[in-house]
Structure 1
Amino acid sequence: MGVAKVFKKFPKTFWVANIIELFERWAWYGFFMLFANYLTGSVDTGALGLTQTEKGYIMGFGTAFLYFLPVLTGSIADKYGYKKVLFVAFVIYTTAFIFLPMVSSFWGVFGIFIYLAIGAALFKPVISATVAKTTTDETSSIGFGIFYMMVNIGAFIGPMVTLLFKNSSYDLVFYISAGIIALNFILLLFYKEPDRVVTKESLGESLKTVFVNIGKVLADFKFVVFLAIVAGFWTMYNQLFFTLPVFIAQWVDTSAVYDFFSVNIPFFSENYGKADGQMEAEFITNFDAMFIIIFQIVVSSIVMRIKPLKTMTVGFLVCSIGMALTLATQNVMYTIGAILIFSLGEMAGSPKITEYIGRIAPLDKKALYMGYSFIPVFVGNALAGLISGGVYQNLSDKTEFVQQEVAKRGLDISDSLSQNDYFETAATQMGMSSRELTNYLWDAYHPYDMWYVILGIGLVSVIALYLYDRFMMREKK
């Protein structure tokens, strides 16, 4: 069946849900793509100056909490209605974005981020279930491909908008996200409640049922193995947000992109470049979303007739290679090429995870079972936080390395200086420019070793998924 004919089979609710998803992802990624550098950047830029380890705890465990809760919130949505749950989610979202710039301590940021995670956890299973309920076996591959494309349109637009205001004030980043998410209150007026089974159970009884169902899921050994394997993929994937923006900001020379835009499209160098002739790290990272917007429908059309497990295996492999290579060089063009490789694997593999679980979920419990699709994301975020935190700080953190080099040379530099001032002072005392000191630390401390860790995690997941498909799955999914 042609793609155009498939498009005509989607009901209005499918498209409304996708537009809601677009705005929610716009709001989320508008701050989240900048979040790692906001947490760890130099205080003289308006960032918080936290350590990589503290960043890892906030982003890893905070986001993991977000992805665990849908196991419960999916059941709540099935009982009380998708539209009501969406309304509550948007209230929490809006207020959390307003509160975030009001705190600066580790525990303050962590607490508000957990509050934000509750809103996101209410939202996620509802929208995924809506897409699942408005697609069929015939239309699910294209349907979830469209859904994933909407995710990435929002993911692309969000940082492009907020980066325009970052240098004026980081506070505006969060306020813009609050305004964008508030637009979904209007879209809720056009959202039609999908068919669902309404029970007379109390909330307590519903939650008890959830835990009983969790027990049943955990008793399904094949499904648990699948979730564990996919957790490895998400551990690797989340480095796109947790590690790559920091790595680019610290190590990659983006001047070639800045110079290209200065000559050909000055708007980008003027609005997304910095005074030192470098591009904003998040602008480079955002190429991933741009590639997905361009190629997602094509990739989904190619893989729509291929078994989800086989598609995931290939997608995970390509993803792993791409993400590992983004952390292997200081050359920005090489980095962008690696992001393209990563995005192609992401487009093939990631939507198939949701599609696979959506296919095997009972029709009257779509939101509940979609909640289980977030379990590996929960584990993956927790592990990704540890890797982007303590592991990155030991293997790749430029702030850590310059402090080690200062101590090794016996230089006297005050610890009270901001990160930028400390680095500039160190460079001056060592008789180097900032770029020369960066290159020296690159050669002396090998921060690119991080790519071995990421590739190893990805390859373990790929091999495990291949063996799972080869030896544990008899029926075709």
Structure 2
Amino acid sequence: MSVFKKFPRTFWVANVMELFERWAWYGIFASLAVYMVTPVSQGGLEWSQVEKSRVISIITGALYFLPIITGTLADRIGYKKVLIASYAIMCVGYYSMAYITDFWPFVMAFGFMAFGAALFKPVISATISKTTTTENSSIGFGIFYMIVNIGGFLGPIATMSLIKGDGGWTMMFIASAISISINIILVLFFFKEPERDENAAQEPLGELISKSFKNIFEALSDIKLTILLVIFVFFWTVFNQIYYTLPNFIVQWIDTRSIITSVEGFSPWLAEWMTDKNGQVAFQLFTNMNSLAIILLQLIISSAVARMRAINSMISGILVCGVGIGFSMLTNNPYYVVVGIIFFSIGEMASSPKFTEYVGSLAPNEKKGLYMGTSFLPHFVGNIFAGFISGDLYEVLSDKVKLTQKFAAEKGLEISTDLPNDVFFNKVAESMGMTDAQLTQTLWDTYNPGSITYIIFALAIFTVTCLFFYDKFLLRPQVKEKEAVSA
């Protein structure tokens, strides 16, 4: 307990704000890909898979790029002012998304909210850094990482419960706006401004932003860093499928009622709680297993790979990640999804922290902050690439809407494709004398929508192969050279 008392109040306030911000973000993000393609009759937007993925990937990608710019604002005008602006913007953005359904207005509201999140992200990390010391920074950031995952776990759970009520999807966004409203109270009454660099506070904003970009290019002049960042673009492309593609795949193809039946055998209350309006397991529970696994197992996995070379841990972790996400969509068996997500989570815990650790080890002591800042660039590009898999490729290979249209055309059924997606599917099933479940199974057997998993797994193998050659031809020769010089 004495260790925890060494942290100032601002440290704990920052962690609580991170909890509510992550609650708000994952409260919508874990469900957004499904909401965007859900039929209008069920409260969704009924966009295409491509439209969904373009919007999510570009805006989320920008959220990881913008902190390069927004991080300078805090040093220039103050942390508290930036946080207040950030929360106000996010609050308006979340609330607007609850009631806007037209395409471009919704995109603008989502982008506005994401800009607020981009203001928040660098400020809260810098606050944790400034309120810890060399003695307690390790446990301080450990607490922070745990809080991130607790918020990421609770947000989707709350959403799952809310959208079953009369308010439907609207309540998902309202709940996120309320979470951010709590942060406005916290920053106004409990947050103390950390010490700032006085030189940065006096420097013109344009020069600060220009310096930020110059610093990035300076870090990227290190060829080892640049190649590693390029390789990890493909890792984040694979990783993001757990939010971009898997939720849609579960909703469209996986009949999860067998899990509910199994749970009813020992806990009828739990079975009822985990069931959505359609009698299936709420899809949020599947993707949310990732956050839960990290909360429960991160220390164990970190201990297991502690003595491994960082590059070996990353290779092993990415391979397991690829197996996990691939396994989740290989069949339409719900238990495969569960096993796949557990594998994915173990791989993430072995690879992602080691990536951060390794980037830090590449940096000279005086440039560690600079190098760590560039580690967000693969997130930015990886989000963009992930959108092509979950949009363009998914729509061709796995989208139930498009495959139903293809099936109807091949069978010569004269049903207008201008009908709402759910109505069209029901008419095709009726015309073929099938139930919805029978038509779904027929589409699966005919078109094998799980084939998209081969592409995702191949991308993971490509990433692992690149890391292997990166180690063999760039890292190991330098180690041998150093050993020869020291001898």
Q: TM-score, normalised by structure 2?
A: 0.89
Quote the Cα distance in structure 2 between the aligned partners of 1:463 and 1:22: 37
The letter for the 2-side match of 1:315 is: G
- 1:212 alignment partner in structure 2: 214
- 1:183 alignment partner in structure 2: 182
Structure 2 counterpart of 1:461, from 451, 460, 463 = 463
1:201 aligns with 2:198: no
Aligned pairs, number: 473
**Cα distance, 1:357 vs. partner?**
4.2
Quote the Cα distance in structure 2 between the aligned partners of 1:149 and 1:434: 42
CA 1:460/1:83 → structure 2, altered by over 3 Å: closer, same or farther? farther
CA deviation digits over 1:332-351, x for unaligned, max 9?
Answer: 11110110010111122223
Structure 2 counterpart of 1:319, from 313, 321, 332 = 321
Structure 1 counterpart of 2:420, from 415, 418, 438 = 418
CA 1:178/1:416 → structure 2, altered by over 3 Å: closer, same or farther? same
Quote the Cα distance in structure 2 between the aligned partners of 1:323 and 1:315: 12
- 1:170 alignment partner in structure 2: 169
Quote the Cα distance in structure 2 between the aligned partners of 1:365 and 1:79: 21
**Cα distance, 1:212 vs. partner?**
1.8
- 1:346 alignment partner in structure 2: 348
CA 1:137/1:100 → structure 2, altered by over 3 Å: closer, same or farther? same
**Cα distance, 1:259 vs. partner?**
1.4
CA deviation digits over 1:226-263, x for unaligned, max 9?
Answer: 21111111111111111000000001121122213333
SS of 1:449 mapped into structure 2: helix
The letter for the 2-side match of 1:345 is: G
Matched-pair identity in %: 45
Structure 1 stretch displaced more, 288-297 or 71-80: 71-80
**Cα distance, 1:24 vs. partner?**
0.9
CA deviation digits over 1:70-98, x for unaligned, max 9?
Answer: 11112222333333322221111111001
- 1:253 alignment partner in structure 2: 255
**Cα distance, 1:391 vs. partner?**
0.7
SS of 1:183 mapped into structure 2: helix
Quote the Cα distance in structure 2 between the aligned partners of 1:372 and 1:125: 13
Structure 1 counterpart of 2:36, from 35, 39, 43 = 39
1:440 aligns with 2:406: no
- 2:485 alignment partner in structure 1: none
CA 1:327/1:217 → structure 2, altered by over 3 Å: closer, same or farther? same
Structure 1 stretch displaced more, 448-457 or 9-18: 9-18
Alignment of 1:59-98 (within 5 A): 59-98=56-95
Q: Give the conservation status (yes or no) of the 8 Å contact 2:404–2:443.
A: yes
Quote the Cα distance in structure 2 between the aligned partners of 1:193 and 1:366: 24
The letter for the 2-side match of 1:450 is: I
Quote the Cα distance in structure 2 between the aligned partners of 1:140 and 1:219: 29
Quote the Cα distance in structure 2 between the aligned partners of 1:230 and 1:73: 23
Q: Give the conservation status (yes or no) of the 8 Å contact 1:358–1:370.
A: yes
**Cα distance, 1:138 vs. partner?**
7.3
Quote the Cα distance in structure 2 between the aligned partners of 1:359 and 1:76: 28
**Cα distance, 1:126 vs. partner?**
2.2
Structure 1 stretch displaced more, 280-289 or 438-447: 280-289
Q: Give the conservation status (yes or no) of the 8 Å contact 1:317–1:459.
A: yes
Quote the Cα distance in structure 2 between the aligned partners of 1:407 and 1:313: 45
Quote the Cα distance in structure 1 between the aligned partners of 2:68 and 2:364: 15
- 2:15 alignment partner in structure 1: 18
The letter for the 2-side match of 1:95 is: V
CA 1:218/1:24 → structure 2, altered by over 3 Å: closer, same or farther? same
1:116 aligns with 2:113: yes
- 1:242 alignment partner in structure 2: 244
Q: Give the conservation status (yes or no) of the 8 Å contact 1:291–1:343.
A: yes
Structure 1 stretch displaced more, 346-355 or 51-60: 346-355
Q: Give the conservation status (yes or no) of the 8 Å contact 2:314–2:355.
A: yes
Alignment of 1:89-168 (within 5 A): 89-133=86-130, 143-167=140-164, 168=166
The letter for the 2-side match of 1:466 is: F
Quote the Cα distance in structure 2 between the aligned partners of 1:186 and 1:273: 35
What stretches of structure 2 of length at least 5 have no aligned partner?
Answer: 483-487
Quote the Cα distance in structure 2 between the aligned partners of 1:244 and 1:417: 26
CA deviation digits over 1:429-449, x for unaligned, max 9?
Answer: 112111111111111101111
Quote the Cα distance in structure 1 between the aligned partners of 2:307 and 2:2: 16
The letter for the 1-side match of 2:406 is: Q
Quote the Cα distance in structure 2 between the aligned partners of 1:420 and 1:296: 41
The letter for the 1-side match of 2:79 is: Y
Quote the Cα distance in structure 2 between the aligned partners of 1:361 and 1:6: 29
- 2:330 alignment partner in structure 1: 328
The letter for the 1-side match of 2:198 is: V
CA 1:219/1:321 → structure 2, altered by over 3 Å: closer, same or farther? same
CA deviation digits over 1:32-61, x for unaligned, max 9?
Answer: 111011101111110011000000101111
**Cα distance, 1:455 vs. partner?**
0.8
CA deviation digits over 1:396-429, x for unaligned, max 9?
Answer: 1011100101111111223343222221221121
Structure 1 stretch displaced more, 362-371 or 401-410: 362-371
The letter for the 1-side match of 2:64 is: Y
CA 1:87/1:348 → structure 2, altered by over 3 Å: closer, same or farther? farther
SS of 1:50 mapped into structure 2: coil
**Cα distance, 1:179 vs. partner?**
0.4
SS of 1:47 mapped into structure 2: coil
Structure 2 counterpart of 1:390, from 379, 392, 404 = 392
SS of 1:264 mapped into structure 2: coil
CA 1:13/1:226 → structure 2, altered by over 3 Å: closer, same or farther? farther
The letter for the 2-side match of 1:162 is: T
CA 1:292/1:78 → structure 2, altered by over 3 Å: closer, same or farther? same
CA 1:472/1:14 → structure 2, altered by over 3 Å: closer, same or farther? farther
- 2:284 alignment partner in structure 1: 282
**Cα distance, 1:360 vs. partner?**
6.0
Quote the Cα distance in structure 2 between the aligned partners of 1:18 and 1:241: 24
SS of 2:198 mapped into structure 1: coil
Structure 1 counterpart of 2:55, from 55, 58, 63 = 58
Structure 1 stretch displaced more, 96-105 or 307-316: 307-316
Q: Give the conservation status (yes or no) of the 8 Å contact 2:318–2:464.
A: yes
Quote the Cα distance in structure 1 between the aligned partners of 2:351 and 2:2: 24
What stretches of structure 1 of length at least 5 have no aligned partner?
Answer: none
CA 1:36/1:328 → structure 2, altered by over 3 Å: closer, same or farther? same
Alignment of 1:216-235 (within 5 A): 216-235=218-237
CA 1:228/1:129 → structure 2, altered by over 3 Å: closer, same or farther? farther
Quote the Cα distance in structure 2 between the aligned partners of 1:441 and 1:210: 51
Question: Larger Cα Rg: Structure 1 or Structure 2?
Answer: 2
